[in-house]
Structure 1
Amino acid sequence: MKIRVSNLDKKYTKKGDFILKNINLELNNGIYGLIGPNGVGKTTFLHVLLGILPMTAGEIICDNDIKFASDEFYDLVGYLPQYPKFYKHFTAN
């Protein structure tokens, strides 16, 4: 699968500032990591890429006619945050 990100912007309306501005990249099959200082938009980018947050502008296209943020898309993409959050009613045995 190939994911192409074109002219991606994310703006927070409360502050009015862009956290992501004009992001352009292409991701092919593989494992990727984002490295950078706190507050530069790594988590925001991942949340937009996964459809958790809406983008302000831009486009995310998946090849093979896979619709972005569809069930088929989520079947192919994995995400493990550094500090995962769980539902309160989940328990471990």
Structure 2
Amino acid sequence: MSSDEHWSPEEEDSQVSKLARKSRDAPFVPIGLAGCFAVVGYGLYKLKHRGNKKMSVHLIHMRVAAQSFVVGAITLGVIYSMYSDHIKNQSGSGSKK
């Protein structure tokens, strides 16, 4: 094993830098997670004032709302990625001809 292949901690990315890089690459994922936590927090806050609604029904509604927010954010991210990769490139290459 040569000295070039020696591992050093400076070569590795820290967890914070990995998270920051992935957030720049796919900004809708952290937005979806933040929305999920917001919906869960709001659902837990409203748990005391749910009235005569059963606990299981309240938790199911909270779960569906949180999942919907995450899936919606990821879907918007995929649509934006498709737009930036394909449609922008096609319109940019058409003007160069």
TM-score by length of 2: 0.25
TM-score by length of 1: 0.26
Is the radius of gyration larger for structure 1 or structure 2?
A: 2
Q: Which has the higher helix share?
A: 2
